[in-house]
Chain A
Amino acid sequence: MSMATSVRHHSVLPGFRLALGYTLLYLSLIVLIPLSAVFIKSASLNATEFWNIVTAPRVVASYKISFGLSLVAAAINAVFGLMLAWTLVRYRFPGKKLVDALVDLPFALPTAVAGIALTAIYAGNGWVGKYLEALGFKVAYTPKGILVALIFIGLPFVVRTVQPILEELDTELEEAAACLGAHRWQTFRLVILPVLLPALLTGFALAFARAVGEYGSVIFIAGNLPSVSEITPLMIITKLEQYDYAGATAIAAVMLVFSFVMLLVINLLQAWTAKRTGRNR
Chain B
Amino acid sequence: MASSVALLDAAFSLLAAGGVVVFFLALLLILSTRVSTQSSRFDSRALRDPPLVRGLLIGLSLTFFTVFLLLPLFTVFAEAFRRGFAVYWAAISEADALSSIKLTLIAAAISLPLNLVFGVAAAWCIAKFEFRGKQFLTTLIDLPFSVSPVIAGLVFVLVFGAHQGWLGSWLQAHDLKIVFAVPGIVLATVFVTFPFIARELIPLMQSQGKEEEEAAIVLGANGWQAFWHVTLPNIKWGLLYGVILCNARAMGEFGAVSVVSGHIRGQTNTIPLHVEILYNEYNFTASFAVASLLAFLALVTLVIKTWVEWKAGQSRNLADSNAPADSDDPSCTVRVIPDAITKKGTLP
Contacts and interface: CB of A to CB of B under 8 A. Distances in A.
B158 to A, nearest CB: 4
A112 interface: yes
A102 B295 contact: no
Given A23-B137, A120-B75, A121-B71, A15 B151 contact: no
Contacts of B125: 15-16, 19-20, 23
Interface stretch (B46-54, B93-101, B316-324, B327-335): B46-54
Contact of A108 (B31, B124, B301): B301
Nearest to B152: A34
A51 interface: no
B42 A215 contact: no
Contacts of B295: 109, 113
Interface string B4-46: 0000000000000000000001001101110101110110101
A93 B58 contact: yes
B88 interface: no
Interface in A237-257: 237, 240, 245, 248-249, 252, 255-256
Nearest to A199: B345
B32 A110 contact: no
B291 interface: yes
Contacts of A31: 140, 143-144, 191, 194
A105 to B, nearest CB: 5
Contact of B57 (A83, A163, A237): A83
B210 A151 contact: no
A186 interface: no
A15 B46 contact: no
Given A90-B47, A184-B53, A118 B72 contact: yes
Interface in B146-185: 146-151, 154-159, 161, 163-164, 166
A14 B154 contact: no
Contacts of B62: 93, 99
Contact of B143 (A20, A35, A37, A216): A35
Contacts of A116: 76, 275, 279, 284, 287-288, 291
Interface string A153-170: 001110011011001000
A109 B28 contact: no
Contact of A83 (B42, B61, B155, B213): B61
B255 to A, nearest CB: 4
A38 B157 CA distance: 10
A105 B302 contact: yes
Interface in B296-327: 297-299, 301-302, 305-306
A116 to B, nearest CB: 5
Interface in B95-145: 114, 117-118, 121-122, 124-126, 128-133, 137, 139-144
Q: Is the interface of B mostly helix, strand, loop or mixed?
A: helix
Contacts of B147: 35, 213, 256, 259
B245 interface: yes
B1 interface: no
B72 A110 contact: no
A47 interface: no
Nearest to A232: B148
B73 interface: yes
A213 B150 contact: yes
Contact of A105 (B73, B122, B144): B73
B238 interface: no
A35 B155 contact: yes
A2 B251 CA distance: 38
Nearest to A34: B155
A103 B348 CA distance: 14
21 contacts: A8-B130, A8-B132, A11-B214, A13-B217, A19-B124, A26-B118, A34-B156, A97-B37, A98-B25, A104-B347, A105-B302, A110-B253, A127-B75, A151-B68, A171-B44, A175-B46, A184-B53, A213-B148, A249-B158, A262-B146, A266-B146
Interface of B: 25, 28-29, 31-33, 35, 37-39, 41-42, 44, 46-47, 49-50, 53-54, 57-58, 60-62, 64-65, 67-73, 75-76, 79, 114, 117-118, 121-122, 124-126, 128-133, 137, 139-144, 146-151, 154-159, 161, 163-164, 166, 187, 190-191, 194, 203, 210, 213-214, 217-218, 222-223, 226-227, 245, 248, 251-255, 258-259, 271-273, 275-276, 279, 284, 287-288, 291, 294-295, 297-299, 301-302, 305-306, 343-345, 347-348
**6 cross-chain pairs, A with B, having the tightest CB-CB distances, nearest first:** A110-B252, A213-B148, A178-B46, A216-B254, A215-B255, A97-B32
Given A113-B275, A234-B150, A236-B150, 18 more contacts: A4-B133, A8-B132, A15-B125, A19-B122, A30-B190, A34-B191, A37-B155, A87-B61, A88-B61, A108-B302, A112-B273, A116-B76, A151-B68, A171-B47, A233-B255, A252-B148, A266-B146, A281-B203
